[in-house]
Amino acid sequence: MAAYLDFEKPVAELEAKVEDLKALSERQDSPPIGEELTKLEAKAAKALADLYSSLTPWQKTQVARHPQRPHCLDFIRELIEDFTPLAGDRSFADDEAMIAGLGRFRGQSVALLGQEKGSDTETRIKHNFGMVKPEGYRKAVRIMELADRFGLPVLSFVDTAGAFPGVEAEERGQAEAIARATEAALILGVPNVAVVIGEGGSGGALGIAACNVVLMMEHAIYTVASPEASASILWRDSQRAQDAATSMKITAQDLLKFGIIDGIVPEPVGGAHRDPAAAIAAVGDAIERALTQFGGVSPEKVRSLREEKFLGIGRRA
């Protein structure tokens, strides 16, 4: 069953009428309503396209958080063959919010990292809603070092509201763990590609997103802090999250303009949750194009290109 966001109410009403007409047309005693049904379907499709052509930053935030949006494991399931998960940081524990492993992407061996939010109550609790703890970032460092040793490109699927802020995470060195992961990503001699598939929240995202190529899905967000947290900091009122989202320039379109990201992956009309297969395929194509740029490029050059990319942010006219 489709889950509609608050701002989608006009579309929801039209699509409900379409479903009612379809049910009516299937009855044996139904009058011919094919023409009316076609017109109503076209009207609903146009309303959806018009709505999604001009989403506000806060509306994009809601879409990025949609419960039916494809998550990290969905992308791995569809894009990666022979995925072998690797667990643990060899120091404390395994963090299931951070997915890590090896596999094959369109015939090429790769290392994989990603934050998994979960898709129902059970899996959300299991994966801690995608909020990674220090051991998750240390696991990511271990996988990146493994990839560097064996010459495997690293793919990162970013989807987190932020790193886990609990006391135990701070006690185990959350900030240091994120910094180490960011450093590991920056010094890799193999190309790395990050895709923000939902939320890219603060340092929790950056720990696996300091990459040669950073892509965002069309309705994803990437931000220094969540709109709610930013509103609390700026105005001491989390209810002003919509104002914060508008002011912070968190959309893919804004960030591409500022040179923070390198490309936008288009989503199906109505968001990735309406056609996950098409959305995932589009991400796969974008990753393939990104990796093609680094064919035959030396490790020194890969590092140099990444360094130039990040040092140039904010300095370009």
Least confident of 3-17, 108-122, 129-143, 147-161: 3-17
Confidence of residue 264 (pLDDT cuts 50, 70, 90): very high
Q: Residue 317: pLDDT above 60? A: no
Q: What percent of the chain has pLDDT over 70?
A: 97
- Whole-model pTM: value is 0.93
Compute the average pLDDT of residues 213-228.
96
Predicted pLDDT of residue 149: 97
Other Cβ atoms closer than 10 A to 50? 12
CA atoms of 16 and 102, how far apart (whole Å): 43
Kindly tell me the sign of the dihedral angle through the C-alpha atoms of 40, 42, 46, 49.
Answer: positive
Predicted pLDDT of residue 80: 98
Q: What percent of the chain has pLDDT over 90?
A: 88
Kindly tell me the sign of the dihedral angle through the C-alpha atoms of 32, 34, 39, 45.
Answer: positive
Q: Is 86 exposed, middle or buried (0-12, 13-18, 19+ CB in 10 A)?
A: middle
Predicted pLDDT of residue 24: 77
Q: Residue 112: pLDDT above 60? A: yes
Compute the average pLDDT of residues 85-92.
95
Nearest alpha carbon to residue 72 among 149, 155, 163: 155
